[in-house]
Structure 1
Amino acid sequence: MDKNTNCTLTVFTPAYNRAHTLPRTYESLKRQSCKDFIWLIIDDGSTDGTAQLVQEWQSQDNGFEIQYIYKENGGMHTAHNTAYANIHTELNVCIDSDDCMGFDAVRLILNKWESVKNKNYAGIIGLDADFSGHIIGKGFPKDMQETTLSGYYAGGGKGDKKLVYRTDIINKYPPYPVFAGENYVSLAYKYRLIDQEYQLAVLPEVLCNVEYQEDGSSKNMLRQYLRSPNGFAFWRKICMQYPQSKKRLLMDCIHYCSSSQISHHRHYIQESPKKLLTVLCTPLGWGLTAYIRRKEKKWSNGDENEK
């Protein structure tokens, strides 16, 4: 892939069979007043004509460069690994394939970055809103100029936020691990590591409009616990290394025990960063495992009855 070093920002979009929603992401980028960005699409094994759609857009004069990479399906975290390995601009931001770049968001990002780029921030944290313009979760306190992502939530913040990272910082930390037969590792893994060394500059503006698929969200998460237990155990271990609070530490330990039990990992206590707590939480982990399996069986039977 040719390196375009003239742009400051790469907007990257992981896509898996989203040819029906990707056009609205594209249209939101066309509407940007500032075109100082590259759009990088990481096709995570789509079979719905995504490639042909992107080829059509690449042939048009959009005012910005569109780059496209196809890879075998491996889950969101592997798409992020591929993106980070191929981004050469100073900044990057992920806009999902069913979301839209916020109104004038590129200009807002670049103006903010110009004013803080010499302060050694890891990047910028902005707001997500729904398609009606309502902020997801909570905004930022009026006097907040900088924060970490985990610090924002520990201080009572809520809802997904849009993260714009320096590419050199995001690549300073190890890529997301890949576990055979699994397709999930929390994207927050890298963010939690970055939080230990860097702050983010706060930009209290909407940078992305998102649409959540509410139907089946809980069902899908519980199924992920069963389908990707090593990925979840890995993330919970990171959370225990860098806990947000005593309450969260306890919850993460219980989940670590459960995911390790689901994956039949015998040495999870020895490998835990909190060994005594893990011993104490093991019975609670078995209880959570039983709950997950019972719920999944109930939902699976319901799905079969609907066919």
Structure 2
Amino acid sequence: MLTILTPTYNRIDTLPRLYQSLLAQRNRNFEWLIVDDGSTDDTASWVAALEHEADFPIRLIRQDNGGKHVALNTGVVAAHGDWVFIVDSDDLLTNDATQVVADALGNIAGQQSVVGLCFRRGDLNGRLLGRECHDMPMPFASTPTRVGRMVQGDLAYIFHRDTMALLPFPVISGEKFVPELYIWNKISDQGQIWFYLDRIVYWCEYLDDGYTRNFAQHLKRHPRGFLLFYWAQIAREPHWLGKIKAMVRSTQCLIYCLCKTSHGGRE
């Protein structure tokens, strides 16, 4: 079974949209696991009402607010599926997403070297995010850093649960964010990730209070989490320009760390 893992914080306005996309799936061999990261809205009661309505398993886990990465750690441990498909609470899936994933998993059955799958994302207007890659054979094995640089757009990942469990996100006192790519790259060190860059399975929206639109503020608030990522990226970046950018970001993170320390951990 596939676990669709959704970390959420005060997203009662967008969760119903994701739920409707799950109801539209042709392949229902999945569970929906929602990790509520300390929401103060009606998320818990809304999910409780769904548990008797949907024809697929829905589970809710509540935790104190610790950040999306902590919610992902919680969800991976609790997941019943062998594979975990991370779908954010403000996004949704194409109607054939779980079938496409199931077909891809069927193609790798018995291949223990494969630890992840990756597909494309599009926006709510149906447009592909990032560059098209028509001239490449599909699927192919690579790393998240290399493919991310290639497509210049966010991607949709499905990882083997046991591999994710071996590589939890670090929890940093006083911070609530660690870039996901830090762990995705570590997962790629454990085995192959197959990339299907010709197939959209995921529609996304970048909200005003989301991480993507507030990068600079998050970098300042969570410098140690970002420092872990950028320091590791120096070695992972395939080109010197990428390495230099990672060095500059690492220096910026160190400065923010020193500023937080001098202010007793306050921003």
**TM-score, length-scaled by structure 1:** 0.78
For 2:206 and 2:139, the matched residues in 1 are separated by: 28
Partner of 2:20: 27
For 2:208 and 2:38, the matched residues in 1 are separated by: 24
Partner of 2:85: 93
Which of 146, 155, 165 is 1:151 aligned to? 146
Partner of 1:172: 166
Instruction: Establish whether residue 259 from structure 1 lines up as the match of residue 253 from structure 2.
Output: yes
For 2:18 and 2:212, the matched residues in 1 are separated by: 26
- CA deviation profile, 1:251-306 (whole Å, cap 9, x unmatched): 111111111121118xxxxxxxxxxxxxxxxxxxxxxxxxxxxxx9xxxxxxxxxx
For 2:61 and 2:103, the matched residues in 1 are separated by: 29
Question: Which has more strand, going by share of residues?
Answer: 2
On the 8 A contact 1:42/1:69 being kept in 2, the answer is yes
For 1:218 and 1:242, the matched residues in 2 are separated by: 22
- Secondary structure at the aligned position of 1:125 is classed as strand
**Deviation of residue 237 (structure 1)?**
1.5
| RMSD after superposition | 2.0
- Structure number with bigger Rg: 1
Partner of 1:245: 239
For 2:211 and 2:181, the matched residues in 1 are separated by: 18
For 1:183 and 1:215, the matched residues in 2 are separated by: 15
**Deviation of residue 138 (structure 1)?**
2.1
Which of 122, 127, 134 is 1:134 aligned to? 127
Partner of 1:111: 103
**Deviation of residue 217 (structure 1)?**
6.7
For 1:186 and 1:42, the matched residues in 2 are separated by: 18
- Secondary structure at the aligned position of 2:122 is classed as strand
Partner of 2:156: 162
* Superposition map of 1:117-128 within 5 A: 117-119=109-111, 120-128=113-121
Which of 230, 239, 243 is 2:224 aligned to? 230
Segments of 5+ residues of structure 1 without an aligned counterpart are: 1-7, 266-295, 297-307
Instruction: Establish whether residue 17 from structure 1 lines up as the match of residue 10 from structure 2.
Output: yes
Which AA in structure 2 matches 1:18?
R
- Secondary structure at the aligned position of 2:202 is classed as strand
Partner of 1:43: 36
**Deviation of residue 170 (structure 1)?**
1.7
Partner of 1:5: none
For 2:210 and 2:157, the matched residues in 1 are separated by: 26
Aligned residues: 256
> Structure 1 vs Structure 2: percent identity of aligned residues?
29
- CA deviation profile, 1:76-119 (whole Å, cap 9, x unmatched): 11111111111131111111111111121111110111012333
**Deviation of residue 70 (structure 1)?**
0.3
For 1:124 and 1:240, the matched residues in 2 are separated by: 24
For 2:16 and 2:213, the matched residues in 1 are separated by: 28
**TM-score, length-scaled by structure 2:** 0.89
